[in-house]
Amino acid sequence: MKYSVLTMLIGLALFGTACKSDKKADDTNTAESEEVAFREASLTELTGEFADPNYPDKGFWKKFDVEVQADSTVKVKFSSSKNENGQVGCNFSGTGVYTNGYIRVPINPGFFDPTYLTIRYLLTGDIFVGAEGGPNENPSDALRLFCMTSDPITIGGLYEKLQTKGGKKSNQ
């Protein structure tokens, strides 16, 4: 009896250790799969007009422009197609800076701990508009404040740089 209790305790200890190891491996895989790969971009690459895949004629679309200002800051202006009430659905304008290969624009510049709208290139070549910093657990929630639509639409997401051909805009 003494040996069977001892064997059972050793078995439980080994089982507990095995479960702990599996949990750690699962956490590592989840963290790696959620990581987004960005690349540094030049200011020239981040200057111009950008639009989401719906632009200009596939339903509700969003776009933004980036212009370099005389003082080396960047002016960013977001717009969209009209919402279901016939008004502009998304609207945001701000002044930011180019730093470390991407653009940062304070959403609430007067705050002690501001949230920043970020514009970055993904390794895939798409542009990703997101957010960082601020007091919220998920700073991207702040990007919903600039869209007046019945659906939970945000100015964040994937965009492509627009090319100009003979005065007409086209995605390329």
Mean pLDDT of 14-28: 41
With 80 as the cut, is the pLDDT of residue 5 above it?
Answer: no
* pLDDT the model gives residue 166: 40
Tell me the pTM: 0.72
* Backbone phi, psi, residue 95, to 5°: -115, 130
**Is residue 29's pLDDT more than 50?**
no
Q: Is the distance from CB of 171 to CB of 161 less than 8 angstroms?
A: no
Q: What is the pLDDT of residue 33?
A: 41
Q: What is the pLDDT of residues 101-133, one digit of tens each?
A: 999 999 988 888 789 999 999 999 999 999 998
Considering only CA atoms, which of 113, 149, 150, 148 is closest in space to residue 131?
Answer: 113
Query: Which DSSP letter does residue 40 get?
Result: -
SS3 7: helix
Q: What is the pLDDT of residues 154-170, one digit of tens each?
A: 899 999 999 865 434 55
Q: Is 50:64 a contact under the CB 8 Å cutoff?
A: yes
Asked whether residue 28 carries a pLDDT value surpassing 70, the answer given is no
pLDDT of residue 34 exceeding 70, the answer is: no
Between 24 and 149, name the one with better pLDDT: 149
pLDDT exceeds 90 at position 88: no
Flag whether pLDDT at 17 surpasses 50: no
Average pLDDT, the chain: 78
Neighbours of 101 (CB within 10 A): 15
